[in-house]
Structure 1
Amino acid sequence: MPIDATKPYDDENIFAKILRGEIPSTKVYEDDWAYAFEDINPQAEIHTLVIPKGRYVSWDDFSAKASDEEIGGFVRAVGEVARAKGLVEPGYRLLANIGGHGHQEVPHLHVHIFGGHPLGPMLVKRT
């Protein structure tokens, strides 16, 4: 169910629990700023999630409140994961869902990295 990205951070969300080690995950990458792990319900051959270690609900929350160091560290981590997965060439897709219309389901900022095969058009045009 999509969430309201304007609500306060919920320390009981599934990604907060993963960061605390309360729920297992298949770690791909970790540094001071980010944690990356494989999606448990992959939508592409490669489907990895990258989350900041800070308490941010959405991209909007993160871009407004995170320090320059946190933002830089997180963006670099996303790039590092994509390179480590060998996705720079032939290409990949990044996706961050924000709020109800964006169909955000977990109230912790996360970026999906999709790749491994041609992904097709971005969105289906609505008529």
Structure 2
Amino acid sequence: MSAKYDPANVFAKILRGEIPSHKVYEDSDCIVIMDVMPQANGHSLIVPKKPSRNLLDADPETLARSIRVIQRVARASMKAFNADGIVVRQFNEEASGQTVFHLHFHVIPIINGVPLKQHAATMEEAEILAGNAEKLAAALESEG
């Protein structure tokens, strides 16, 4: 892999507080934000704070710490959005569909019979994202 991490990517800017996001959760390793172009209602992103382009160049400890948060968010998403299932996605390099080159994981609530929207296609209204962030944060808090 020849490409290097670019600290000007949108998630690096969110982590530095340079651009806003609908933040749901934060700990010393990760933030959880709502995807602004969700594939389903409640689609969130887990973004590790330690810089890497994707899974291919990430530190194994970053991955281990991230999966703990991913599991908590998946459980909370099931509850908050009355989901029938959860999809966890992670894209690596442009050919796979990666559009932001900072490691991140998608947690997407699935409702039977409701098709997913196209990845990175349509911006959601800010009010809906804010409401979904509140629902997910409350579910996370009740999970402990």
- TM-score > 0.5 by shorter chain: yes
Q: How does the TM-score come out when normalised to structure 2?
A: 0.70
Unaligned segments of structure 2, at least 5 residues: 117-144
1:108 maps to 102
By how many angstroms is 1:71 displaced?
A: 2.4
Amino acid at match of 2:109: G
Cα distance in 2 for residues equivalent to 1:67 and 1:18: 23
SS of match in other structure, 1:55 = coil
2:12 aligned partner: 16
Match 1:45 to one of 37, 41, 45: 41
Which residue of structure 1 aligns with residue 128 of structure 2? none
Aligned ranges 1:59-78 → 2 under 5 Å: 59-62=55-58, 66-68=59-61, 70-78=62-70
- Maintained 8 Å contact 2:78/2:86: no
The alpha carbon displacement at 1:84 in A equals 2.1
The structure, 1 or 2, with the larger RCO (C-alpha pairs under 8 Å, 6+ apart) is 1
Query: Given that residues 87 and 109 in structure 2 are in contact (C-alpha distance below 8 angstroms), is that contact kept between their aligned partners in structure 1?
Result: yes
Q: What is the alpha-carbon distance in structure 2 between the residues aligned to residue 94 and residue 35 of structure 1?
A: 16
Please tell me the root mean square deviation across aligned C-alpha atoms, in Å: 2.1
Percent sequence identity over aligned pairs = 35
Which is helix-richer, 1 or 2?
2
Question: AA paired with 1:61?
Answer: D
User: One-letter code of the match for 2:70?
Assistant: V
Runs of 4+ in 1 over 3 A off after TM superposition: none
Q: Which runs of 5+ in 1 are unaligned?
A: 122-127
Q: What is residue 80 of structure 1 aligned with on the other side?
A: 72
Q: Is the 8 A contact 2:83 2:110 kept in 1?
A: no
SS of equivalent to 1:41: coil
TM value normalised by structure 1: 0.79
C-alpha displacement of 1:89: 6.6
Query: Structure 1 CA distance, aligned partners of 2:75 and 2:27?
Result: 15
SS at match of 1:61: coil
Corresponding residue pairs, total? 113
